[in-house]
Amino acid sequence: MFKLMQVLEGVRYVHSKNIVHRDLKPENILLDDQLNVKITDFGFAKVLNDGEKLFELCGTPGYLAPETLKANMFEDAPGYGKEVDIWACGVIMFTLLVGCPPFWHRKQMVMLRNIMEGRYSFTSPEWADISEDPKDLIRRLLVVDPSERIDVHESLMHPFFNTVLWDQDMTPLKKSLSGTSRRMSRIEQLSMVIDGCAFRVYGHWVKKGEGQNRAALFENMPKTELKSLYVSNLSR
């Protein structure tokens, strides 16, 4: 999880410049020749003025924070800020640990409902041998209320990052397993990133006018229609 720490450090730097990325996901996290993390694709990024809130619907569905969805469903929504990147880091961490995303559902509106309610679980067999520290950090990252969500500075100070050991050549040893530490080769690290990427199951929002070849999800759906679909799904 040293790579996740690097992602959070990158997010901390971006946020220090009053920039919100808005599309953090494994696809946009690359490794250089020295396996250092590089955050890429700032096509949706936005420089925020003091106190400014955003309302535009953009990003990748499975990584969207609840407040982003609310901003496009409810006329009185307060908007969103840099906290959406913290939520996305929680989704990334969940996905990298067990190889599947927390909110995905084959029915898109059910996935949307899961995100809005922060509905996920650690009940799958893949979580059986993972210790409490990473689960606790995920719980703090995936908080529906952005004002209660852990910030990037607190994330980096979480005890989870003290459970990662390093040998002399900086090859990580994963100490998330109960009772034992397991050496992870560089190939295994890359495999976790590649095989666990949620982009294999998620669609993408269309960013028109930029020439990006992205599949549409809820494309051209009015705010009122999206809201009604969500409310209708709640009654099922």
pLDDT at residue 179 is higher than 90: no
pLDDT band at 35 (very low <50, low <70, confident <90, very high): confident
pLDDT band at 171 (very low <50, low <70, confident <90, very high): very low
**Top mean-pLDDT range of 166-170, 214-218, 227-231:** 227-231
The closest of 104, 157, 95, 163 to 131, measured between CA atoms, is 163
Containing H/E element for 16? helix 2-16
Tell me whether residue 84 is exposed, middle or buried, using C-beta atoms within 10 angstroms of its C-beta: 0 to 12, 13 to 18, 19 or more.
buried
Q: Is 23 a catalytic residue?
A: yes
Containing H/E element for 38? strand 37-39
pLDDT band at 140 (very low <50, low <70, confident <90, very high): very high
Q: Give the Cα separation of 26 and 49 in Å (integer).
A: 28
pLDDT band at 224 (very low <50, low <70, confident <90, very high): low
Q: Give the Cα separation of 37 and 220 in Å (integer).
A: 35
Q: Name the region of 209 (left: φ>0; alpha: ψ -120 to 50; beta: rest).
A: left
pLDDT at residue 198 is higher than 50: no
Please give the model's pTM, rounded to 2 decimal places: 0.73
83-87, 95-99, 184-188: range with lowest mean pLDDT = 184-188
Containing H/E element for 6? helix 2-16
- In the set 23, 50, 85, 133, the catalytic residue is 23
Q: Give the Cα separation of 68 and 60 in Å (integer).
A: 11
Average pLDDT score over residue span 154-161:
92
pLDDT at residue 167 is higher than 80: no
CA dihedral over 136, 142, 148, 153, signed as positive or negative: positive
Higher pLDDT, 217 or 98: 98
Report the alpha-carbon angle 69-81-54, nearest 5: 65
What pLDDT is stored for residue 208 in this prediction? 34
Higher pLDDT, 23 or 211: 23
Kindly list the structural domains of the chain, giving each domain's residue range(s) and its CATH number in brackets, ordered by start: 2-234 (1.10.510.10)
- 67 contacts 84 by C-beta, under 8 angstroms: yes
pLDDT at residue 187 is higher than 50: no
What pLDDT is stored for residue 232 in this prediction? 59
